[in-house]
Every structure is written in structure tokens, then in C-alpha cells.
Structure 1
Amino acid sequence: MLLFCSHLQGSQYYIGQIRDERFYPEIHGRMSWEGGQLGGPRTLLDANGRRIFFDWVRELRGNERERASGWSGVMTVPRLLSLDPSGHLQIDPVPELEVLRLDPRRHESIDVPADSEVAVEGVGGDCLELAVEIDPREAREVGLKVRRSPGGEEETAVSYDAAAAVLRVDVSRSSLDREIRYTRYRSLQPHLPESEQYVTAQEGPFELAPGELLTLRIFLDRSILEVFANRRQCVTQRIQPRRQPVCARRCGQGSVAASLDAGSDADVTLSNRTGTLQLSGGADPAQQTEPSENARVPEKRQSIASSFKHLTTSYRVAQTR
């Protein structure tokens, strides 16, 4: 696998064969699409032989606000890269991230009438992990909304569009901050008119096989959103809402069945344009100050801390090289 970054289109890769000291690409893929912010892919090989991927997610706040903040960009969560039996890329969050989970909660058999949204109580905040499983059946579009304000003024929609065969993150209402805009390419292009410089959604190619469930792992951490789908696609997006809450939705005919596990706080709203969603949820370890409800978690954190330490150390070494 050959990772590279295009100045205009961000992080990309080729998968192929090396023969006679030459690389022969067979599969091309992108990790960032129009409106995306990835632009500095790096990997390392850990002590267990795993290929761990990190990438830099750039800012949206403009040069002056970025300089004033004293920092620039944020890294993705560590991702485990591997190949499936057909030779295509598999993308997973590293299992070490599971140590951050606390006080898991489950919401099941939630009925979402057609063309409506249902808020899931008791799940709220801006740092969380969501594990979602949806049977899309005949739906043309299914998904959820995250960081949704109580009045819906701000929200980010994550969805699978079966007709377009894409995994979509709609940022058209992600922030009330008018300075937050999503460029089509990684920089403004003087030859393009203003109307073509910006987009309102990032879409990565993705298609479910007949009868296949949609399985999402979603990570939210303040201004960063990472959506993993069925181990074979991941869309990363910066979002900077001024208000808090999460949501799930459905468009099309017939019913939908789903389950959701949340590993941190975030208000969840389910929307459906005909169907039923079954959910489960959880709480935010980053905001948990006392381990009283899960006394074994500190031990769990301690036992796995060395893995993260090794990853961090190895990554710094890889960067210096």
C-alpha cells in the first residue's frame, strides 16, 4: 500500500504489488473527498505487526483565528489498516480506544414513525463513541444526526444513500459560525467562481450488498467527527457547532431496524421517513470524574495504557524520520 497526499484532494492511497523493485498499483482509493480536511497521512508498524494509521485534520477557522489560538489542526484517532480477502482496504479504529468507554447505556426497540425524528433521552455531550447497526431494507437513505441543538439550528447529518452509493456527512447546518465554510478543494482556486468554491457535504463511495446491515462506528470529540462504515470506509470531518447534542434518521419506504451503543455523552435524535429504529446508548468517559459506577475501569485503563504509550512513542519516532 502506498499512501500519499495531493495538494488539492488530500489523502489517498494505492494498493498493489511490488515486483522487481517496482510498485504496480492495482486499486486506488481516497481518504478525503470534496469538503474534507485530511492532508498528512502517516503509518507505523507496532510491536504486534499491526499497521497503524494517523492523519492530520486541518483547521476551518481561517488564518487569523488559527494563529490566535496557538495551535493548528488535530490528529485522527489511531486506525488499524489491513486487507480483506479480496485485497481491498479494511479500516478499523484501534481496539485500545475501547478503554475510554464508561457507563454504557442501551436503548432498544425505539419506534420512529415515518418522516419524523425521535430524541433518545439520557445521551448528551460533545465527546462520544456511537456503535450503530441498521437494517436499511428498502430505504433510500438511513443514518443519524449528531451535535444537534435543541431547536435544530445546528446539526450534522451522517447517512448512507443507497441510490447514490455514498456515505455522506452533511455539514450544511453544522455551525452557526458563518466563517466556517468547507472548500471543495484543500485550497481556494482562483479560476473557480465563488459558487463552486464551497460544498455542503462530504461524500465517500460506499455501497451495501443486498441484505447487508449498515454498521457504523462514530467518534465525536469536540470539533472532529470520524465515521467508520462496515470496516471498509471512513469519512472524517471537522464540525464546529456552538451548541451541543446527536440524532438518527431514515428516508424511504418500509421499516428500518437498528441498534446503537454510545460510549460517551451526546443527545441523540432519531429521524425516520418511514420505519422503526432500535437503539442502544452510552456515556462520556472524558466527562466522568469519579469511577464509582465502574470501579474496574481504572484497572482497565492501566492495563492498556502501555499500548497507547507505545503507539505514541512509535508515532513520534516515525514523524522524526
Structure 2
Amino acid sequence: MTLGNQGLIMSWTFDEGTGSNTMESISKVRDRIHYVFNQAEFTEPCDPQWRKGVLGNGLLFDGYSTYIAHAIHEKDPNITYQYRSELSIGVWLAPRSYEWGYEGKLSAIVNHHNMDRKQGYLLGMYRHGSWSFQVGLESGDWKEVWAPDGHELPKNEWSYVNAVFDGNEGIMKLYLNGSEVASTDLPRGSRLVEAVDTELLIGKNNHSSLLADVFSLHMFSGMLDELNIYNRALSEQEVIDAYRYVIDTDHGGAHPQLNDEDIQLDRTPLLPDRHRPQYHVSPPAHWMNEPHAPIYFNGQYHLFYQHNPLGPFFHQIHWGHWVSKDLVHWRDLPVALAPEKDQLAPDGIWSGSATYDAEGLPVLFFTAGNDSASPNQSVALARSTYPMDNDPDLVHWVKHPEPLIVQKKGMGAFGDFRDPFVWKDDDGWYALVGSGIEDEGGAALAFVSQDMLNWTYKGPFFKADIQKFPYLGPIWELPVLLPLGRNPKGENKFLLLVSPVGQGADVEVFYWIGQLDMQELSFIPDQEEPQLIDVGDFHFTGPSGMVDPKTGRKIVFTIAQGDRTSELEYKSGWAHNGGLPLSVYLREDGRLGIEPIQELESLRGAKRLSLYDKTLAEANELLQEVQGDMLEIQVVMEPVSAKQFGIKIRRTPGGEEETLLFYDMNESMFLVDRTNTTLHPGEKCRGVQGGKLELLEDYLRLHIYMDRSMVEAYANGLKSLTTRVYPSRLDALGLEIWGDGELLVKSLDIWEMKSIW
């Protein structure tokens, strides 16, 4: 402590390194660190995340649940307010992500304020790394000093911040790394009014807004260390000395460096979560929606995803990033694209796709969110810095400074224009953009370019008749076009996928098989009515796709929706994951064939059971020894007299909790019954879901992947059924073949499955 105790009224060194409390050194009070996993319902309880600080240890704030509340000792009850003529705050911090700025509020570093009453003080961050110190004065004014452009707080780097209030001299100042960067004048003799009936909070705004009645916004995300509060105004030299003390004591006179692993989101606390999938791709923590922009480059597959690094809720959207050598085992990489302080995409980096430029290097096309523009969505591009900076993992991307395609009136449904799907051939680049046609329904719009930068609108690629198919909705998102090859007649077929949204839309992945008119750049479907790949009711959504250059396979990626309340997503610390990569192909009968990619076999562990030609009773006798929540199951069943038959999974010994996957021969329906899936009063998974499946053969062939709460069932290579299950009981691990009559289990093979993490 370079300044001794002169005027020091509160200090947190965060040197504990373990535990769920931290000492305020002056009062010797141990403050509780609020953290979602101090008490955990679904995973193992654990301490808040401690990391190496600038001196000793530091504390990592997760962005949505971590904060410290320090009770200010009671004042004389006869005194209504307490005033301060001077106040200084010094703190080392490293933000991991930035506040979006909802309702104009700061994400608080430290605060003890009430802006409505013009009381107290607030040091915090705002959009894109901007930051401010704000105070309430005896005069009734609320005064603010802001760091100017060029002095934002960088992500994933240490900064030393000082805020000084000197009412006697009539000035407020900000210092960054020992240098003054901003000041604002006050009337001489000004006094700060202490906030009453308010806790001092570190990492949380005293008056944070609530999202979904659960999530407090305006939380600090990142590292804090060496927080000191003084009841006097520090001089410029004292600020410099405090900065020099840290860098000279522990860092050889250089500015402290921060290891990526010390600040990046950590999946370790979530690994024991009994509901979190272990061999499905997922972010380290917090929120994701659709995975998208798959691309293969230099021996690795890259897959990106919509991600909120602040917490497990839909808010400030970035592009997360994974990389894999086999489409099965994935590595977490840093966020690839984030909103920045520009006129391109300051308000969100929404979905898109990946392709190659003229030199064969990867490029990303994304939806640029800019709420100051009309419409607030446009198509933009980012280039990899490979090979200039030897970046084999494609970690670094640079955005093209201007949008490439801006929607104009008459170009689809104005204001809905997103999710570009771009591909390249020998003649140039082509793009589909999700939109709609006014009063006609959803549409994919077509564009063409010779240089990847200048685009020409060709009109609707394909549109729906909302009168005939109202469930296709007024807007389409995430259009995907994949070549399927030639059918037996020699016709070249393509697969078009869309995701409807808007009033009346059924938010599922619908598809058509058809032909491509390259002259008009339009799609001619084989049949007007769309089909579903998955019949699991909103658990298989957000499509993206690629042609695998290694194998020629056409692969589809999806999000597996979590189907949980905001309260449970808060408690869990994560929301959603990806579905298994799915190979799609054109069958001899003209129907779409689907199957999980073969590489998933590499995850098989011990084989738990293999049997042939057993009655229902015989099979269930052998199944009594098989339990698990991470299994691969292949079963073939021949109905003898049964009209409904299938398999019960995640079953307790007495059947109090169980989930039934079954086929109804009379209705030609593939279904899941989740009536008894869970006894947990907060979980939403309930009822019976499913859809049409024409088997055209006597056997039911199910290929099932169970991964904790994830269930994916593939029936006869024709349909999938994706669903979620959250049993409350730890013994909900059993299996049972079920039928309403006699049936024969032709074969049954079960493997344990290994985690990819």
C-alpha cells in the first residue's frame, strides 16, 4: 500500500485466493462474495473464481451473479445526510466484456449511490469500454466526468483507474494508468452527499435493471484487484506513485500482463452439472443461441455461435468460436466478433455464414446490428488476419468498415433483413438473406457479386404462400442452401432450409428439396408443402450448414433449445447448446436422408449391452443392469401385435420419472411423452410432442443419443426427434423397452459415451 493509511477508509486487496468472502482491511469486516455457485442446485458448490491479480490474487466477476455488498456502518440517527468534500477511488481492473447500456446505466465497478436523490458516488463502465465517475452534490446536482475517446478500458488487459473528487478545489478527475485523462469543474466548496439506506456494492449497480425479472443488468464482468477508497483527494503524484508501486513491485517496471486463461470464461464449474450435456458442443458458460458459419480451413473445422458473454440470458450478442479437427472434439477460442464503437455494428453481431475469398482465405459474413440506422440490420464482412500474423486458429478477425448490403425499400420486408448465407463458385459469390414479402409471407432474398464486396439484388430466391401455410410466418431467418447431387433421373437437387419467425410462425427448421435456376437465381421446389427434419417441437432450431471439403458430405448444425425458465438458467449458469452435426443426403426414393456423422463413434466407451431377437420381457430383463445418462443406443423393433412401441429412458426404478420415445403405427407418428419426465416443480418439460413419420417398412430403427438433458432420436434415417429432459432424481438412469402389445427386439446395442471436454 504505497500511500500508507492516510485518509484510507476502505480497502479490498482480494488476496484470499479461496473462499466466498473477502476482507475490507480497514474495518476488518469480511464481506460475502455473492456468486451463483456458492450454493448450487445442479452442480457441485464452489467458490467464486479467484485468479492471479496484479499483487497477489484478484477476483473474477462472472458478469451476472458475482458482486460484493459492504454494509456502511450506521450514522447518527439524528443526522439525515453525511457530506464529503473529498473522495478518491483507485482500482486495478480488466474487463472481460462491456455493458450494452440498457436504460443509460453504468455497469458498476464500485458504487454507493442513488441518482434519483442525487446522492452518493458511482464509478463504472458503459458501452464499448467507456467509463465514468459520477457524484451527487449538496446543491442537488448530479455531476459526471467521462473518459474521452481513445481512453476506453481495453478488454482482457489490466488497467489502473483512479477517480478523484475534490470539492474544495472544485474539480473531478479521472486517471488511467497513472495519467490524467479527463476532468470537469465544480463550484468550489462543493460537497458530495452520501447515499442513505443504500449498500456499497462492488461489481453491481445499486439500481440495476432487471431482465426477465431475474437477471440484474449493469454487472461488472472481468477481474478486480487492489480497490482502495480515500476520504481525501489524491494528488497527481500520489496516483503516479500508486501505479509505479505495483508495476515496480511485481512486474519489473512493466505494465502488468494478463494471461488469457485467467480471464476467459471457464467451463470447469459447469462440468459436474447433472443436466449439462458433455459431448454436445457448448460455450464455456453463459448464453448461446444458434451455431453458424461452419468452415474448414488448414485441417481444422471452425464453428461460430451467437453468444452473450455477460451471462446466461439473451442480451449483448457476440460471435463465440470453436475449432475442431474431427467435428466432435471442440476447443474453446476467444470471442471472434464483438460489437465495437463504430457505425457498423455497435449494437450486436448477429448470425451469418462463412466462405472463402478469391485467395481461398476464410471470410465471415454477419448481420450488423446498428440501432441508429434504419433498418438496424445490414450485411457486413470480416476477414481473418491469417497468414499475416501466423494465426492458425483464426482467432483474429478484422471487420470491413462499411456494410456490404443495405436493405432498401422494396427489397423484402423493410426492417427484417438478416442472416446472410453466402457461397462461392467459379462464377462469383452468391448470398441468401432472410426476410419476407409484405402481405405474402417469409422469403429468402438473392444477391450476386463478382468481387465479394459489391452486390446486386436479384429478387426473391424463394417465398412462401402465407395463406396456404400460415405456420411459415411473415419472416424467414437463417436460410441455408446445400447441394444434394443428382437423383436417379439425373436432376441436380438442392436442399433449402429456413426458420420462420413472427406472428403465427412455427419456429422449427422447415425444408424443401428442389432445383436451382442459376439464371434467375431462384429455387423451384419439388413440392409446395414444406417438410420438417425434426419433430421434437422447438428443440432443433437455428440451422446452418456446409459442404465438408474433406468428405463431400452436407452437414447441418443446429441449436438445441434448453426449454427452461430464466430462474433455472440463472441457477445453472448456462443456456442452450448445439445439436450433434447431422449428415443430410438424397435417398434413392427422393426423400431426405439424415444421420449423425460417423465420427461420433469415436466417443464410444464400454459397450454395455448387445442382444438379438428377444421378446420385450427378455430384453427388459437384460436392460436392468444398464444405467446411464450419457449413452448411445441403437435398437430395431418389430411389432407383432403392438401398435404403439418404443423405449423409456432416464427412468427411475419405480417409473416415477421417465421419458418415453415411441412410434404410433395407427397415426404414423414419431413421438416423445414427457408427462413423467421430471418431478421438479420449476422445470418446463412436459406433455407429448412429435410429428408424422411414414416408415414404409415393418421395423422401427431408432438411433438415440442421450447426453444428460439432451435426447436426440433418429428414426429409420428419415426423421429426428430432439428433446430435453431434466429429471429431479439422481436415480433416473434406467431404460425399458415398452409396447402396448407383443413385439420383438430384433437388435439392441448400447455404448457408454465419453465427454468431449
Q: Which one scores higher on RCO, CA 8 angstroms, separation ≥ 6?
A: 1
Relative to structure 2, which stretch is displaced further, 238-247 or 166-175? 238-247
Q: RMSD over aligned Cα, in angstroms?
A: 2.3
**Counterpart Cα distance in 1 of 2:537 and 2:544:** 21
Identify the match of residue 23 of structure 1 among 494, 507, 523.
Answer: 523
Deviations 1:211-268 (A, max 9, x none): x32111000000010000111110100111123222211123x44233110011xxxx
* Structure-2 residue corresponding to 1:256: 744
Give 1:176-255 correspondences, 5 Å limit: 176-182=679-685, 200-210=687-697, 212-243=698-729, 244-245=732-733, 246-252=735-741, 254-255=742-743
Deviation at 1:137, TM superposition (A): 3.5
- Tell me if structure 2 keeps the 8 A contact 1:133–1:260: yes
**Counterpart Cα distance in 1 of 2:515 and 2:591:** 13
Deviation at 1:178, TM superposition (A): 2.3
- Tell me if structure 2 keeps the 8 A contact 1:9–1:33: no
- Tell me if structure 2 keeps the 8 A contact 1:61–1:180: yes
- Tell me if structure 1 keeps the 8 A contact 2:509–2:534: yes
**Counterpart Cα distance in 2 of 1:6 and 1:54:** 17
Opposite residue 228 of structure 1, the aligned amino acid is: Y
Q: Residue 99 in 1 paired to residue 602 in 2?
A: yes
* Structure-2 residue corresponding to 1:40: 542
Q: Secondary structure at 1:125's aligned position in 2? A: coil
Deviation at 1:93, TM superposition (A): 0.6
Label 1:160 to 1:29 Cα distance change in 2 as closer, same or farther (>3 A).
same
Deviation at 1:207, TM superposition (A): 2.4
Label 1:32 to 1:84 Cα distance change in 2 as closer, same or farther (>3 A).
closer
Give 1:258-273 correspondences, 5 Å limit: 258-264=746-752
Give 1:151-166 correspondences, 5 Å limit: 151-166=654-669
**Counterpart Cα distance in 1 of 2:511 and 2:621:** 39
- Tell me if structure 2 keeps the 8 A contact 1:132–1:215: yes
Q: Residue 4 in 1 paired to residue 498 in 2?
A: yes
Relative to structure 2, which stretch is displaced further, 116-125 or 214-223? 116-125
Give 1:76-155 correspondences, 5 Å limit: 76-104=579-607, 105-113=609-617, 118=621, 120-155=623-658
Deviation at 1:141, TM superposition (A): 1.1
**Counterpart Cα distance in 2 of 1:118 and 1:204:** 31
**Counterpart Cα distance in 2 of 1:233 and 1:263:** 22
**Counterpart Cα distance in 1 of 2:576 and 2:650:** 20
Q: Secondary structure at 2:569's aligned position in 1? A: helix
Structure 2, gaps ≥5 residues long: 1-494
Label 1:155 to 1:50 Cα distance change in 2 as closer, same or farther (>3 A).
same
The count of residues paired between Structure 1 and Structure 2 equals 249
Opposite residue 31 of structure 1, the aligned amino acid is: I
Deviations 1:102-148 (A, max 9, x none): 2223244544359x965613311100000001112442111110000
Relative to structure 2, which stretch is displaced further, 201-210 or 87-96? 201-210
Deviation at 1:205, TM superposition (A): 1.0
**Counterpart Cα distance in 2 of 1:209 and 1:34:** 21
**Counterpart Cα distance in 2 of 1:141 and 1:231:** 19
Opposite residue 532 of structure 2, the aligned amino acid is: R
Deviation at 1:34, TM superposition (A): 6.8
- Tell me if structure 2 keeps the 8 A contact 1:9–1:34: no
Relative to structure 2, which stretch is displaced further, 146-155 or 1-10? 1-10
Relative to structure 2, which stretch is displaced further, 98-107 or 144-153? 98-107
Opposite residue 579 of structure 2, the aligned amino acid is: T
**Counterpart Cα distance in 1 of 2:674 and 2:605:** 29
TM-score (norm 2): 0.31
**Counterpart Cα distance in 1 of 2:690 and 2:537:** 9
**Counterpart Cα distance in 1 of 2:617 and 2:702:** 22
- Tell me if structure 1 keeps the 8 A contact 2:615–2:744: no
Opposite residue 106 of structure 1, the aligned amino acid is: S
**Counterpart Cα distance in 2 of 1:238 and 1:257:** 26
| Richer in strand (by share) | 2
Q: Secondary structure at 1:10's aligned position in 2? A: coil
Identify the match of residue 73 of structure 1 among 576, 580, 586.
Answer: 576
Structure 1, gaps ≥5 residues long: 183-198, 265-283, 287-307, 309-321
Q: Secondary structure at 1:130's aligned position in 2? A: strand
Deviation at 1:173, TM superposition (A): 0.8
Deviation at 1:6, TM superposition (A): 2.0
| Richer in helix (by share) | 1
Label 1:117 to 1:106 Cα distance change in 2 as closer, same or farther (>3 A).
closer
Q: Secondary structure at 1:98's aligned position in 2? A: helix
**Counterpart Cα distance in 2 of 1:179 and 1:119:** 34
Q: Secondary structure at 1:41's aligned position in 2? A: strand
- Tell me if structure 2 keeps the 8 A contact 1:32–1:236: yes
Q: Secondary structure at 2:583's aligned position in 1? A: strand
Q: Secondary structure at 1:174's aligned position in 2? A: coil
TM-score (norm 1): 0.71
* Structure-2 residue corresponding to 1:302: none
- Tell me if structure 2 keeps the 8 A contact 1:263–1:285: no
Moved over 6 A (4+): none
